[in-house]
Structure 1
Amino acid sequence: MRKVSALLLASERRAISGLAGLYASRMLGLFMVLPVLALYADTLTGSTPLLIGVALGVYGLTQAILQIPFGLWSDRIGRKPVIAFGLVLFALGSMVAASADSIGAMIAGRALQGSGAVAAAIMALLADQTREQVRTAAMATIGLSIGVAFALAMVIGPWLAAWAGLAGVFWFTVLLTLLGLLVLWQWVPPAPRRQRHRDVSMDRRQLKSVMARPDLWRLDTSIFALHFVLMAIFVAVPYRLLEAGISAAHHGLAYLAIMGLSFVAMLPLMIVAEKRQRIARLCVLAIGAIAVSLAGLGLPVSEGYWLFVWLFIFFTGFNLLEATLPSLLSKLAPAGAKGTAMGVYSTSQFLGAFLGGTLGGVLASYGGLDAVFLGCALLATLWWAAMLKMPSPPPLTSEVVALDDTEADTMDVLLERLANVAGVEDVLVVPEERLAYLKVNRQQLDQTALAKLVTPLKP
């Protein structure tokens, strides 16, 4: 085995910055529609609350169906061509939505946007471009970019729609996508290799074992429910802000204040929970807060300043879960199966977005705005009850160690030696990849014993 410096190479810095920006700009284009579509789609022919909900969430359906095929396709023909094709589809979908004069055309455009399902291919290209020692930090940068994109979208979307209309939001998305294509081909370096990465890519051989684990199912259910309620309530939240006397042009300022305060509130909670190993309890608390806030939004007490109180509570809980659920997944996923676990997790997220938008439209059509919030509150209460007994995960982290050209018959010896190191909880050695995937308990890890294995094993 070998150790390599964890300092970023110039090519790695370019790959991380370029791909994180590309991922964030794509998510920004998807999220900007969230706070404005319900308000501005009323002018489209055939528009109803149900169909507006479908338009909000339909991108999740095509994302869920196509993200795994796109990832597998990139393994075969190359990352950049697949990513470029997906971005072209995304741009075409944005153009269709920008030109739509009916709700049917809007739904078609949003579905076409979602068909550019390049998230897995982007992550795989980032893995190709980075060494194992810096890959975790690289992936964390992508995760951070998504959070920033969501916060910016809540602010930029309403401002852009007030200035240029709903079509302007989609044309701005087209511009972002064209810039993304330029970044992909001119800034992101060519990948030195192309292979499957078990910490990033889906492995169908591991799918059954991953899906059979109750602890991972809890996380899949959580991200499903989280994005379900997010999409559902944005059928109604913009109208609540109008009722509170805030014009559509100023919704961005309202979201800016709410999101900013929620980020400030969540940071100390996350730090304390991580330090005291209470992440699971924090998740249950956040789910409970979401359930209470949704109930509050559906009752008469949501009037006046209480509307902003409930929205602040909701987004604090949302941001906490959006940040902690992937961390829990990383801790709980078996060694070498993180990519597969993340594939199931992401599919659950996209399905939640689709069904949430659709059901939110149904509830708004037949029960009004209050029914949307109260229906989501009921779902969140069931979700909270299902998560109550979730055990706190052990303080495990993932490690990927590169192997030298070790003979195949020494792999079993290597596996046994790694497994016997104190603090190493799980090991997977993959000879064809020349990698060892470890799950380690940092508090118990015998660093000296592990360091002794950093020399090639002799047969």
Structure 2
Amino acid sequence: MRNRWGILAVLFIVRLTMAFQFQSVAAVAPLLGAKFDASLADIGLLIGLYLTPGVALSLPGGEIGRRLGDKATVAGALLLMLIGQLAMVASDSWGWQIAGRLIAGGGAVLLGVMMTKMVTDWFAGKEIATAMAIFVTSWPAGIATSLLTLPAVGTVYGVSAAYLSVAALIGLGIPLLVVGYRSPSIAAAAPSAPSRLDRNTLFAVIIAGLIWGVFNIGFTMIFSFGPTLLVERGWSITAAGSAISIVLWLAALSGIAGGFLADWTERPQSVLVIGCLLFALLMLMLPRSEAVIPIVIAIGAISALPAGPIMSLPARVLEPQTRAIGMGIFFTVFYVVMMLGPAIAGAIAKWAGSAAAALDFGTAALLACPVLLWGYNRIVALRPQAA
């Protein structure tokens, strides 16, 4: 396939498997709790473990891809995801649930880093913002699909059947990638001697990674603890998963709309700040209101608006020769935050005795984003302007 939009469709579907697998634990959390006698803190830890390997693999991920090739690296990543998922199916031990989650997460991290680079190869200088916005929406689309299908499968056939459904989707992703993806005929050449980041640029990239991580913590609380919140309020697990999935389906559209709005108004940071504040307000309302569906719809329409503007922050300070190491640092910070966030949220929910506390934690995370953005802008202002 040589059509770049067709290539983007292949990459979208393959990355969707990562989101589907990430959400598989939260989608059947009440069933896991019953099967393994797991608390909300245990579930939160298992959710967060999926992204833990990113702390170690984000920086070397690009070098691994350079040595093995893009397609081979992503195919290997999918294979790791499949092996980890099958390990979770094969054993009723909680220790194997943790091990399988870490193995799958290692593959997912490599997949995420490399596929972002693959999209850039095909769209650099050609609708890159639109392509990235579409690519990023594979995450909420995959999570929504997981919420819509896995609770029903798990309720009828058990947790193992839900896990096998995840393995089947990942298995289908491997031949799709092998057959459907080709590298562009002329790929941008990487500089032979990457430059080092100056101190202010390094700090700016770290804060940008913090903003992306903290924002995603707020977003993650909705689909990680939202279903459990509704089950606590008397909903069935299937109805709760379907209701929360509305957020993800609408977020898939609002993310693209946010990128377009940021470009059209030429005020991406205003979109970022207003989006985070409105999202935080709705998060605060959800556990305290009976109007669940209207609030869920509003969250879906608002929640992903800041995504594009946030992802543009590293590009503002990174030169072509520093993008590889800069994005490695950006994703390392992101994965550290995403590793800790769900575990902390689960512990808070256990202490408070309700999943509502996890959503309040997400609200606080969203409110921190404008504060971090202020710090980012202060540091960027100290950098010497390019000629």
TM-score, with normalisation over the residues of structure 1?
Answer: 0.70
Mapping 1:243-254, distance limit 5 Å: 243-254=232-243
Distance 2:123 2:375 in 1: 38
Q: Name the structure 2 match of 1:27.
A: 19
Size of the alignment, in residue pairs? Answer: 378
Structure 1, gaps ≥5 residues long: 1-8, 395-424, 428-459
Is the Cα contact below 8 Å between 1:14 and 1:189 reproduced in 2?
no
Pairwise CA distance, 1:372: 2.4
CA RMSD of aligned residues (A): 3.6
Pairwise CA distance, 1:183: 2.0
Mapping 1:216-365, distance limit 5 Å: 216-232=205-221, 234=223, 236-260=225-249, 271-297=260-286, 302-305=288-291, 307-365=292-350
Mapping 1:42-441, distance limit 5 Å: 42-116=33-107, 117-125=110-118, 130=122, 132-134=124-126, 136=128, 139-189=132-182, 197=190, 205-207=195-197, 211-214=201-204, 216-232=205-221, 234=223, 236-260=225-249, 271-297=260-286, 302-305=288-291, 307-369=292-354, 370-387=356-373
Distance 1:275 1:193 in 2: 30
Pairwise CA distance, 1:61: 0.7
Pairwise CA distance, 1:98: 2.4
Pairwise CA distance, 1:172: 1.7
Is the Cα contact below 8 Å between 2:59 and 2:325 reproduced in 1?
no
Q: Which has the higher helix share?
A: 2
Could you tell me the percent identity over the aligned residues? 18
| 2:306 match: secondary structure | helix
| 2:163 match: secondary structure | helix
Distance 2:255 2:77 in 1: 34
Distance 2:85 2:226 in 1: 24
TM-score, with normalisation over the residues of structure 2?
Answer: 0.81
The one-letter code matched in structure 2 to 1:30 is F
Pairwise CA distance, 1:208: 5.1
Is the Cα contact below 8 Å between 2:25 and 2:43 reproduced in 1?
no
| 1:10 match: secondary structure | coil
Is the Cα contact below 8 Å between 1:47 and 1:102 reproduced in 2?
no
Q: Which has the higher strand share?
A: 1
Alpha-carbon spacing, 1:225–1:183, altered in 2? closer, same or farther (3 Å)? same
Is the Cα contact below 8 Å between 2:41 and 2:346 reproduced in 1?
yes
Determine which structure has greater relative contact order: mean sequence separation of CA pairs < 8 Å that are 6+ residues apart, divided by chain length: 2
| 1:122 match: secondary structure | helix
Is the Cα contact below 8 Å between 1:70 and 1:82 reproduced in 2?
no
Pairwise CA distance, 1:205: 4.0
The one-letter code matched in structure 1 to 2:8 is I
Is the Cα contact below 8 Å between 2:54 and 2:106 reproduced in 1?
yes
Is the Cα contact below 8 Å between 2:254 and 2:304 reproduced in 1?
no
Alpha-carbon spacing, 1:232–1:74, altered in 2? closer, same or farther (3 Å)? same
| 1:93 match: secondary structure | helix
Is the Cα contact below 8 Å between 1:79 and 1:121 reproduced in 2?
yes
1:10 to 2, 15, 30: 2
| 1:173 match: secondary structure | helix
Alpha-carbon spacing, 1:195–1:75, altered in 2? closer, same or farther (3 Å)? farther
Is the Cα contact below 8 Å between 1:38 and 1:52 reproduced in 2?
yes
Please identify the structure whose Cα radius of gyration is greater. Answer: 1
Is the Cα contact below 8 Å between 2:141 and 2:249 reproduced in 1?
no
| 2:36 match: secondary structure | coil
Pairwise CA distance, 1:112: 1.1
Is the Cα contact below 8 Å between 1:68 and 1:120 reproduced in 2?
no
